[in-house]
Amino acid sequence: MIINKSETQPLVKFLVVSALSFLVGTIHGMLQVMPPIRAWLDSIGSPYGGPGHMIDPLAHAHMNLVGGVVMLAMGATFYLLPQFSGKKLYSKKLVSYTFWFTVMGVYSFYTILMVFGTWEGYLMLHDREMLRQVHQHYYSPLMALSGTCMAIGFLFYFLNIVLTLVKSPKAIESTSK
């Protein structure tokens, strides 16, 4: 089965985001092992608990795994599934929804972990009374929202795969007699 360029063009964005996420995750990893940063992270509980664990390992891992590996796997699946199954993808809109919800989810998740890891780390060292209030009133609802956004992207991904395999017609009908 030959895939034309118009079928694969929307998938390039998965590769671009994957590469960008690996770049961000790699820079993050290099920075977090620098002695002054590592000492600060250790002083606020990284990687075993406390606000430091939001930065290392949670933010670092999610950027590399979800932003890098999962986005690459999603793009590869959407490219390879029609070739292996002989069926057209069920919905290009679901591909787009998968991409945007997952990207919004993972990048907001990463940003929230970095911002609140830094903020709560500062509060842990300077104003412990405010730490719990910040965590309950701001961090938890924002994390729930970003995690839900990511989960919706995953749901659209799996839905498109299942519907492609179950409901999508063959891309090329055989005409053998």
Each of the 177 residues of the chain gets a pLDDT tens digit; together they read 455 666 678 899 999 999 999 999 999 999 999 999 999 999 998 877 788 889 999 999 999 999 999 999 999 999 999 999 999 999 999 999 999 999 999 999 999 999 999 999 999 889 888 888 888 899 999 999 999 999 999 999 999 999 999 998 887 554 444
- How many of the other CB atoms lie within 10 Å of CB of 102? 25
Q: How many CA atoms lie within 13 A of 106 on its CB side?
A: 27
Nearest to 102, CA basis, from 11, 9, 14 = 14
Q: Which residues of 18-36 are buried (b: 16+ CB within 10 A; e: fewer)?
A: bebbbebbeebeeebeeee
CA–CA dist 58, 113 (Å, integer): 7
Q: How many residues does the chain have?
A: 177
Enter the pTM of the model. Answer: 0.88
